A = this chain, B = another copy of it.
Amino acid sequence: MIVRDFNEILKNDQSRMVSDAKWTSVRMLLASDGMGFSFHITTLEAGSEHTFEYKNHFENVYCMKGKGSITDLATGETHQITPGVMYALNNHDRHTLRAEEELVMACVFNPPVTGTEVHREDGSYAAADEG
């Protein structure tokens, strides 16, 4: 059994925290944990906007706190995001996420993120074997 505490990691374990332009992600579970998925708590700054496209991953995102919206860039459809709303990128959907208020999201990636990926210019993570 693995037990980890988000608040403890924030205080004492920078190695599990990744930040980029106006977002921070705490990697609670990574590929090395052997669960077959990774689990992250991601915080997006109020007023920020992000375009991502996980070409090599499925991602599920559950809003725990905050207010914002997501636009599916293939269809142009926009959905409001409030606590309790979940979106699943089952088609590797290219999307724009906007945080009207700070958003705190629980995120699951399949295949699991290894922890060494960076967002590329196209908003994707490389597949593990692309380095």
| Residues in A lying within 8 Å of B, measured CB to CB | 1-8, 28-29, 33-37, 39, 41, 58, 60, 62, 64, 70, 72, 79, 84-91, 93, 95, 106, 108, 110
Assembly stoichiometry (copies): 2
CB-CB under 8 A from A8, the residues of chain B are 84
Contact between chains at B85 and A4 (CB < 8 Å): yes
Residue A33 contacts which of B6, B41, B84, B88 (CB distance < 8 angstroms)? B88
* Complex-state Cα separation, A25 to B106, whole angstroms: 17
Contact between chains at B85 and A29 (CB < 8 Å): no
CB of A44, distance to nearest CB on chain B (Å): 17
Residue A89 contacts which of B1, B37, B84, B110 (CB distance < 8 angstroms)? B1
